[in-house]
Structure 1
Amino acid sequence: MYRKRSAGRGLTRLAVLALTGALIGVPPVAAEPGGDPAAQVQWGACPADVPADPPQLQCATVPVPLDYSRPDGTQIEIMISRLASKNPDKRRGVLLLNPGGPGGSGLGLSKLLVTQGLPASVLDSYDLIGMDTRGVGHSAPVSCGFTDDQAYFGNIPPYAADDAAVAEQATIARGVAEQCAANDHDGRLRQLSTANTARDLDRIRAALGEEKASFLGFSYGTALGAAYASMFPERADRIVLDSNIGDTFLDHDGMRRYARGMEETFPDFAKWAAARHDSYGLGRTPEEVRRTYFTLAERLDKTPVDGMDGGLFRFSNFVTLYSESSYAAAAQSWQSLLESGNAGPAGGRPPGTGAPSPNDNGWSVFLAVTCNDIEWPEDVGTYRRAVAEDREKYPLYGAAAANIMPCAYWQLGPSEPPVPVAADGPAGVLVVQNRRDPVTPLRGGESIDEKFGERSRLVSVDGSGHGAYVLGTNPCASNTVTGYLVDGTMPERDVTCAAASG
């Protein structure tokens, strides 16, 4: 047996880690393609909180308009990082990186990709350019003023057991929307959108002195990459979109797909746990493991244990499915919860102190971009019906993913329509997608591939988890994407990658 741990603490830690991530009316305002990079970008040491290993990582800032409808108005600074190619003879340009979110810092993403095994041929071919997108971290950061004692404590709404829970969440969501509007003192929150961030990418490209820019984005980064390829098709070079939300924005339907993703991915965890029944005792078959999930969730709904209630339990297991590396920690927590029964320390989420939440910036950016990108339904009844439908259709997580968001009451945007995916333009978009992904299920990859038409190819991978290229282990996916980034080898047709052996 594995060493036991505090009943809810392991899953709570996983949940916290996961939370720490258009054109009409406003012209694209493209930057000039050329320029002297030495004169426009001054590289130096990165801030102390940016991972500096490999030590060659450098940082700089690029000025961009806060409001692109007033390009000569207030400017903000976007911080970027560079891991330069060490092989000038093979270097072909820059590869812009985005880790997702919206709200995730990307300054250290090149370090993560190198650690995970990004091929040397890609490192030779490109300067890797990470960044904190507008509003994030070191790039004119925004804040809704979240504190650690608020009822709002995550980007995904809590599981709604009934209509009353939806109504309660609606009250919280309205308060959060009003709070964000009240904290938008300098107008930054209202200027956070996927369209504006795509415009920033083109400013960064020009400041680096590049005629074109390639792009590798994960999760929400696929929406940003799709927007860039649509708004600036002649400037976008080789575009890789990994783990796709299905469009250039996240809306209520996209959020509801999280429930589908969990249903499609949970069997992988259940099979893994059943094969280790002698270690964890969660069930001898995947079906028994699934029943254990509902047993624990319903027990915790009635009696929270050690800071873990039913809603947090469901959310924590949703996060667990991002990677098989999280399975063991989750199984240990399930084991402890089963053994403690109702005898452990009672109580839900521990009370806060009123101090600023460490997730304030990430949550604020997520809400601003998500709510500014597109109109969300305002009628509570729409969410109540969606929750009831998805609670039955996707019982693992449907009543959370369909629940009401602060976007229903958002006061700051949208200020322009969402970016339409442009099917007209040069080919060059490679869509990469695990077949089982809890947050961006396969349907997201299929949808964005359909929208791009002949501009894209879909690489579907018989794999599980969030992230297929580098973050996954499938050699077919790795070779296909690497071949495209390095040699420009776009598959003639869609690719289906079989499960990796072993």
Structure 2
Amino acid sequence: MRGRRTAVAVAGAVVAALTGTVTGVPPAAGAARADAGGRAPDAGPARFQQQEIAWHRCQSGPDDTVGKELDDAKAQCAEVTVPLDYSDPGGRTIKVALSRLRATDPGRRRGSLFYNPGGPGVPAMYLTLQVKQAGPAVAARYDLIGMDPRFVGRSTPLNCGWPTVSIGSAGPDRRAFDRSAALAKDLASRCAVHRDVLPHASTRNTARDMDVIRAALGESKLSYLGSSYGTYLGEVYLQLFPRRADRVVLDSALNPDLFGPDLTSTTGPAVTAVLENWAAWAARHHGRYRLGATTAQVLATVDRIGQAVTRGPLRVGDHQVDSRVLPQLLWNVTAGDSDEAYGSFAADVRVLSEAARGVKVTPTPVLEQVLTGLSSPDADGSASVQTAISCADRAASRDPDTYYRDIQAHRADEPLFGPLTRNLTPCSFWPVAPAEPPTRVRNDVPVLMVGADGDPAATYPGQQAAHRALTGSRLVTLRGAFRHTVYGGLFAPRNACVDSAVNRYLVDGVLPAKDTTCSAAPAAGRR
């Protein structure tokens, strides 16, 4: 992880489908509106694949710092026209924005490598710069393509005008749960104005957009690097277009049979394991953080904070932390397992512990940033589009009692994170149904999968399920690591063994002969 601030953003993206936390590069402003487009004489899908891409500079104006960085790196940007609804290719169209960084060794260029960092709903145009920095040998052989998925960033952005970015935890009782359900219902109703485009926000359509761009680029096949939600996008692409995939790497793969509004319901135990690992680290640093001299004492400190918020909100600077917000703050233990990340989180917990004792406190800079974000409106639409993608991929139960019963059933074994991860989402009240059933991923396309066995978001059982579904895959497991994503230091500490496996495959086409493991460098929690 390049820093705690970045780590918090990535941890937020993991739970975005549930909490609506804003993450990633800020999208360009604009209301969601499908391009009128009109109907062309040739209304078939081939006309989209045969379009000529008009590359241009990336900076759209003097305040566009993201575009300026891309221009400074000699990237090119463009917009590609795709159908709003692929079952009606002669109908309305939308624009999908992309960036391209040319291969630095054109004489040995292999093709185009698409990158998706996750989310769902995180813009990818800018992040190709990080891929180039993380894997220079990869950047030498491939044009790096960053595509903002449909309705994200610069790709015909969708914005429901939500007054908050987060539903948060269901809290300790039925009254608190009912408040979260009322908020979810209100947020869903605000998206009804976009009911004509919402069914088409699916991952299946984003995969189809990728294939249109592949063809428009003149590539017979595409290579792909996806992390977190980006692995599900890759899984869906492989299922829809198995013969058009070249070299595919899935970093921290999600279970393709579970992706949708309720995916996070499986993550509570993994997040608890990260919290316990951090607590062991904090106990060894008791002299600095004063949270407890043993793992049990540190966890008891966290429990006391949780008990305090059930009696009333904690005052933290200018913010109030209640039972809806606290689990979201504690979720940030998943931001990384380095000393830096764990130390920053310990400082946050220390502030919360003091507040629970009635002491007047000032939040750390990171805690201030997170609390401000959670109390702010969804100005750029990031939370609403993240939710729209999940709702379009898989239908959620429309009976709130289903969620409340599930939360109650797990109060004993998941007292802290269960009411957060198992809470309902706006998808339970969504104004439209998915246009298509979920994608059943089952194929034998060669794939390299990498991931940590202590991943709090792409849980290891989920990675193994994806591995079984992709029978041509090889899995490289980073043992003893409590982090989400493992390649290239993009969002977590680098591991030479993982990087070597990925680079060898992307550059030389060599898959491991069998599943294998890498050892984490001594992680913060194990020292």
Q: Give the drift of 1:389.
A: 2.2
Amino acid at match of 2:240: M
Match of 1:119 among 135, 151, 154: 135
- Provide closer, same or farther for how the CA distance between residues 399 and 494 of structure 1 changes in structure 2, counting only shifts above 3 A: same
Q: Percent identity?
A: 34
Matches within 5 A, 1:146-165: 146-147=162-163, 150=164, 153-154=165-166, 157-165=168-176
**Which of 255-264 and 362-371 deviates more?**
255-264
Answer yes or no: is 1:328 the counterpart of 2:343: yes
Gaps of 5+ in 1: 1-8, 22-28
Match of 2:507 among 470, 486, 497: 486
- TM-score between both structures, scaled by the size of structure 2: 0.82
Match of 1:319 among 308, 332, 336: 332
Match of 1:304 among 314, 317, 325: 314
The 2-side partners of 1:357 and 1:368 are apart by 14
Equivalent residue number for residue 102 of structure 2: 84
Paired residue secondary structure (1:464): coil
Indicate conservation of the 8 Å contact 1:184/1:190, yes or no.
no
Indicate conservation of the 8 Å contact 1:11/1:333, yes or no.
no
Q: Give the drift of 1:250.
A: 2.2
Answer yes or no: is 1:295 the counterpart of 2:304: yes
Equivalent residue number for residue 456 of structure 1: 473
The 1-side partners of 2:7 and 2:464 are apart by 31
The 2-side partners of 1:136 and 1:449 are apart by 29
The 1-side partners of 2:332 and 2:186 are apart by 26
Equivalent residue number for residue 149 of structure 2: 133
Equivalent residue number for residue 430 of structure 1: 448
Amino acid at match of 1:160: G
- Provide closer, same or farther for how the CA distance between residues 268 and 442 of structure 1 changes in structure 2, counting only shifts above 3 A: same
Q: CA RMSD in A?
A: 3.0
Give the paired residue count.
Answer: 470
The 1-side partners of 2:227 and 2:6 are apart by 26
Matches within 5 A, 1:364-375: 364-375=384-395
Q: Give the drift of 1:41.
A: 3.9
Amino acid at match of 1:337: L
Q: Give the drift of 1:159.
A: 4.0
Structure 1 residues 422-464: Cα deviation after superposition (integer angstroms, max 9, x where no partner): 32x4x321221111122221112111111112x2111111222
Paired residue secondary structure (2:410): helix
- Provide closer, same or farther for how the CA distance between residues 290 and 350 of structure 1 changes in structure 2, counting only shifts above 3 A: closer
The 2-side partners of 1:175 and 1:406 are apart by 8
Equivalent residue number for residue 521 of structure 2: 500
Q: Give the drift of 1:42.
A: 2.0
Indicate conservation of the 8 Å contact 1:390/1:402, yes or no.
no
Equivalent residue number for residue 23 of structure 2: 20
Answer yes or no: is 1:205 the counterpart of 2:214: yes
- TM-score between both structures, scaled by the size of structure 1: 0.86
Equivalent residue number for residue 166 of structure 1: 177
**Which of 216-225 and 12-21 deviates more?**
12-21
Paired residue secondary structure (2:80): strand
Q: Give the drift of 1:289.
A: 1.5
The 2-side partners of 1:432 and 1:290 are apart by 31
- Provide closer, same or farther for how the CA distance between residues 435 and 11 of structure 1 changes in structure 2, counting only shifts above 3 A: closer
Amino acid at match of 2:136: A
Equivalent residue number for residue 194 of structure 1: 203
Indicate conservation of the 8 Å contact 2:411/2:418, yes or no.
yes
Q: Give the drift of 1:328.
A: 2.3
Equivalent residue number for residue 191 of structure 2: 180
The 2-side partners of 1:14 and 1:336 are apart by 22
- Provide closer, same or farther for how the CA distance between residues 159 and 355 of structure 1 changes in structure 2, counting only shifts above 3 A: closer
Moved over 4 A (4+): 9-18, 29-36, 348-352
Q: Give the drift of 1:398.
A: 1.1
Equivalent residue number for residue 26 of structure 1: none
- Provide closer, same or farther for how the CA distance between residues 391 and 470 of structure 1 changes in structure 2, counting only shifts above 3 A: farther
The 1-side partners of 2:376 and 2:348 are apart by 28
- Provide closer, same or farther for how the CA distance between residues 14 and 328 of structure 1 changes in structure 2, counting only shifts above 3 A: farther
Indicate conservation of the 8 Å contact 1:261/1:436, yes or no.
yes
Paired residue secondary structure (1:415): coil
- Provide closer, same or farther for how the CA distance between residues 336 and 351 of structure 1 changes in structure 2, counting only shifts above 3 A: closer
The 2-side partners of 1:303 and 1:236 are apart by 52
The 1-side partners of 2:8 and 2:454 are apart by 23
**Which of 130-139 and 52-61 deviates more?**
52-61
The 1-side partners of 2:496 and 2:7 are apart by 31
- Provide closer, same or farther for how the CA distance between residues 19 and 420 of structure 1 changes in structure 2, counting only shifts above 3 A: same
Equivalent residue number for residue 275 of structure 1: 284
